[in-house]
Structure 1
């Protein structure tokens, strides 16, 4: 067992991170201890990693604890929690935009990624066209039936496991027939090597979109959310997302949900950090922390 202290640039609101991650019932979070325990595969070894915030917003500091592969684990934790991204630079960028106050309210809030790209893709497919509560319920059922619990932390099943399932098994969990097909068929593409997430990571956004749009059950919303929360791309604006539309309507006091054309006009000046503008908009609808 090892523990390493990591110091990163402020501002960084770890408490805000934890509060947002409590939306997912599978996440193991202790708000009082300022701690999250996450599942991680390193060299095909399942290990639980504990991240504890011990610093302040302006001087962020973390204690990372696990059992093996220290260097690889620290690199992956830094990727997931975006410790190498300058949130100070983002704050400065948004000062002169029409969401300056919103950005100030959520200054230091990072775009935290899903624990791995497959987990992210699976969640995106399950969540599409469902309300958040039921989507999390379906995901929890899938993971707790076919995943594995290690020291109280749930590991998502690997593509090979999901690929082996029958559609009826997911139907029994209240997946629709189509969603069951999308989840299992996409997992089969990965398990059989017809689709590689490692390869996708090396592509630009347009190349990824072109490749994934050919897959049944994967559309624009799913791709954009994968790019955001799977790959950490910084300049994405998921205009089809209902939460984004509602947040813009609220922030700009619009009479009705904005059109895509209005959203394009209002978002001028947010680039190259559209992803962070999207995050701040989502946060504006959630419990403020």
Structure 2
């Protein structure tokens, strides 16, 4: 067992992080202890890192604990990227102070973008979530993981690509996947299991190269590719104009009679770059139900 205490540059509101992550039933969160248990793959080895907040928004301090000392440095590096410990949020918030999103950035001050814990699970999650309301998307994802994945100390892990590649459409239909969604998840998994697609290498490429590669895969369109860039790879300047949640948030923000057009969305967002990903997050956050688990 290893333990590491780290200090993060303020502001950083870990309670709001836990609040948003708690929308996902697969997250193992303890609000009283202010902890989350994070399932990671380090060099293809599944392991868990627990993060505990012992500070507050203006003095963010964390205790990280994990097994396997030989993987400590790589696990720390991954956690810092996933939870955006590595880059100050203050400069991002300052950027939005003179924009139409100023009130949102004040209300949700110190909320970072938290990445999916694994590239592959991010893509699978995006495929499952396609064209579903958020509540059922979470339910279906949980059902998939708990039926075909595995647990370590009560922490669920997605099925590996090798495991998912061997599933049948009928097995996934039994847990309420549509035929096409089942085919998409199995097909993606087969490409990764056979080595045709290398997500770690892909993540090093440009935004355009990543999108061009992913949209050639059956079941992956621009929405899924952009979400992978934002929540998988952590690119800072993504604004998925096809996302219904963002459309609704903008409709609410500007009191529009109907959802904005793509052209209107691009016009609104002109001065939000180079942090469009953060604009997206705070717009999503403005319409999400707050946790009642505290």
TM-score, structure 2 as length reference: 0.96
Taking only aligned residues, the RMSD between alpha carbons, in angstroms, comes to: 1.0
Residue 128 of structure 2 aligns to a residue whose secondary structure is helix
Query: Equivalent residue for 1:276?
Result: 278
Does 2:232 align with 1:230?
yes
Residue 132 of structure 2 aligns to a residue whose secondary structure is coil
Does 2:36 align with 1:36?
yes
Which of 99, 112, 126 in structure 2 is aligned with 1:124?
A: 126
Residue 5 of structure 1 deviates from its aligned partner by 0.2
Residue 45 of structure 1 deviates from its aligned partner by 2.4
Asked if the contact 2:40–2:117 (Cα under 8 Å) also holds between the matched residues in 1, the reply is yes
Query: Equivalent residue for 2:288?
Result: 286
Asked if the contact 2:11–2:110 (Cα under 8 Å) also holds between the matched residues in 1, the reply is yes
Q: After the TM superposition, which of the residue ranges 98-107 and 195-204 deviates more from structure 2?
A: 98-107
Residue 168 of structure 1 deviates from its aligned partner by 0.8
Query: Equivalent residue for 2:83?
Result: 81
TM-score, structure 1 as length reference: 0.98
Residue 191 of structure 2 aligns to a residue whose secondary structure is helix
Asked if the contact 2:116–2:122 (Cα under 8 Å) also holds between the matched residues in 1, the reply is yes
Residue 44 of structure 1 deviates from its aligned partner by 2.8
Task: For 2:261 and 2:43, locate their aligned partners in 1 and report how far apart those are by CA, in whole Å.
Answer: 46
Which of 102, 107, 113 in structure 2 is aligned with 1:100?
A: 102
The C-alpha deviation readout for 1:98-142, integer Å capped at 9, x for no partner, is: 211112212211000001100100000100111111111111111
Residue 217 of structure 1 aligns to a residue whose secondary structure is coil
Task: For 2:104 and 2:74, locate their aligned partners in 1 and report how far apart those are by CA, in whole Å.
Answer: 35
Query: Equivalent residue for 1:59?
Result: 59
Task: For 2:88 and 2:79, locate their aligned partners in 1 and report how far apart those are by CA, in whole Å.
Answer: 16
Task: For 2:24 and 2:79, locate their aligned partners in 1 and report how far apart those are by CA, in whole Å.
Answer: 18
Does 2:26 align with 1:22?
no
What are structure 1's unaligned runs of at least 5 residues? none
Residue 43 of structure 1 deviates from its aligned partner by 2.6
Residue 46 of structure 1 deviates from its aligned partner by 2.0
Task: For 1:74 and 1:159, locate their aligned partners in 2 and report how far apart those are by CA, in whole Å.
Answer: 24
Runs (4 or more) in structure 1 with deviation over 3 Å come to none
Task: For 2:57 and 2:290, locate their aligned partners in 1 and report how far apart those are by CA, in whole Å.
Answer: 15
Alignment of 1:1-289 (within 5 A): 1-68=1-68, 69-287=71-289
What are structure 2's unaligned runs of at least 5 residues? none
Q: How many residues align?
A: 289
Residue 288 of structure 1 deviates from its aligned partner by 5.0
Task: For 2:285 and 2:174, locate their aligned partners in 1 and report how far apart those are by CA, in whole Å.
Answer: 34
Residue 230 of structure 1 aligns to a residue whose secondary structure is helix
Residue 180 of structure 2 aligns to a residue whose secondary structure is helix
Asked if the contact 2:3–2:66 (Cα under 8 Å) also holds between the matched residues in 1, the reply is yes
Task: For 2:47 and 2:133, locate their aligned partners in 1 and report how far apart those are by CA, in whole Å.
Answer: 31
Task: For 2:30 and 2:203, locate their aligned partners in 1 and report how far apart those are by CA, in whole Å.
Answer: 32
Task: For 1:142 and 1:21, locate their aligned partners in 2 and report how far apart those are by CA, in whole Å.
Answer: 18
The C-alpha deviation readout for 1:64-98, integer Å capped at 9, x for no partner, is: 00111211111111011010122000011011112
The C-alpha deviation readout for 1:188-225, integer Å capped at 9, x for no partner, is: 01111111101211111111111111111100110111
